[in-house]
Chains A and B, each alone.
Chain A
Amino acid sequence: MKNLSKSLGIYESLLDLYPASFKRQYGSQMIEAADDMISDAAGIDRIGVMIKLYAELPASIAYQRLIADGTQIARRPRQVVRRIVITSLVVLTPFFAVPVFGYFHFHDAYFQLSVDRNFSLIWQLALPLITVYLIAKHLIGWSLYLRSKSGRSNAWIKKAWPLVAVGLMAVPLSLLAISTLYSPSENRSIVASAVAQATSPSHACQAFPLESAKKLLGSKAVMNNARQYGSGEIRYDGILSDTPDEIVSSCSYAIGFASLIIQVSDPKNSAAQTAQRRDFFTNLAAVEEPIRVSGYDGFYTDPTDKNKASNNSNQLTELRLWAKGRWVEVSASSLEMAIGAINVVINNL
């Protein structure tokens, strides 16, 4: 390595990204060849040679790593499968544990972890993607290994790697985009939303189990509250971080009386926006019995909201429904909370 330039030091360290066996066998020879290439080039051509040296590395490293994975599967299938399963379990444990924990322990931490949009976008979506990546790379590696073993060319993947890389990046980005566009009032991820709705009656109120709500509302303490406070309008002022348990138990003493207002507001929400939306929903308010729990979608889309994307996250959803002979009004900072709250109220009137 007589002419090894400083820039080849970086090249040499990048060779560490190759599988260890490949680097051990060919690493020093690659540096030797790279050094020869640079030495033979004159003047400005050296820059071209350097660019070429670095440009071929990503595809070459990715290919050798895939082949190494494929070789491992072919040689020690049980060991590799066991490793994939264990890694996947470790990675997916928090993904499932958080909603399960939330189901049994209604706690603010669960709300922060699984529903808070910024956090869930990053880690909850990433966990299953890591698992899919692990499995996919081994399967692709295995198929490349088999093709190579049978003398078939794998040149296509060496050429198509930028396309594959863009495609792989596009999957999580598309999921994020879809979750942002179609999530009704919060920019939470699809995965977080789906898991939360399926597993947590407390926080994802579209799947609010009426049985657990009735149990709460039908308790002796609740009825005592109702007798004690009498009829009239009861207003609960909470903030977004309150758990639905706190909201429901605080409001439950109004069940069975003239009207109920559950006001769950987001501190960031402006008064002007709140007033605008209240007027809009009030005009749509008259709904006759029977009220279908799943039939409220139309009320949560605010056509006066010209700038939906920016207002999606913090808008106050207000529902005022005529149900079972009385007005029930719910204001909540998210669609899910409003649906959950109004379901509880209506079913216990």
Chain B
Amino acid sequence: MHNQKLLTQVSFCMLLALSLKPRHGYELMKQIEVDSGGRIKLGPGALYGNIKELRQAGLIEELSATTSEQRRRYYQLTAKGRGRLQQEITYFRETVKIAEQRNLIIKTNEGTVS
């Protein structure tokens, strides 16, 4: 992990969105938007550019169509992709821990952190 470059924010969000179930392009776009709190809104060009890169890196794969009429292509995490997502989450967890130790995270009344 230490020698590995961090994923871009978009790539991380894509892996995160695919962690629950396989999704097709538009579903993926919407899930990323939800997961990022509306901060990341991808268009088809950016989405499929990233899908191509993640596929080449072996982090996601295309599900084979179940019927010949099925137009939508679904993508799912590979084992490598799931491992990579875990690594990223571990990194973020450690980062949050450091931030807590330095009193950088303020607890609110609702118990959430900001």
Contact = CB atoms under 8 A, between A and B. Distances in A.
Interface in B25-59: 25-26, 29, 41, 43-49, 51-53, 57
A96 interface: no
Q: How large is the interface on B (under 10, 10 to 19, 20 to 34, 35 or more residues)?
A: 20 to 34
Nearest to A152: B5
Query: Interface SS of chain B: helix, strand, loop or mixed?
Result: helix
Contact of A30 (B45, B57, B72): B45
B72 A153 contact: no
A4 to B, nearest CB: 12
B5 A150 contact: yes
B25 A32 contact: yes
Contact of B45 (A32, A57, A150): A57
Contact of B46 (A25, A56, A152, A153): A56
B73 A29 contact: yes
Contacts, number: 65
Interface in B4-41: 4-5, 7-8, 10, 24-26, 29, 41
A150 B6 CA distance: 11
Interface in A1-48: 1, 22, 25-26, 28-34, 36-37
A60 B45 CA distance: 6
B25 to A, nearest CB: 4
A179 B77 CA distance: 57
B46 A60 contact: yes
A158 interface: yes
Contact of A29 (B10, B46, B48): B48
B8 A30 contact: no
A260 B41 CA distance: 78
A33 B7 CA distance: 24
A309 B41 CA distance: 50
Listed from nearest, the 10 A-B pairs whose CB atoms lie closest are: A60-B45, A30-B44, A36-B26, A56-B43, A26-B48, A151-B5, A33-B25, A33-B44, A33-B26, A153-B8
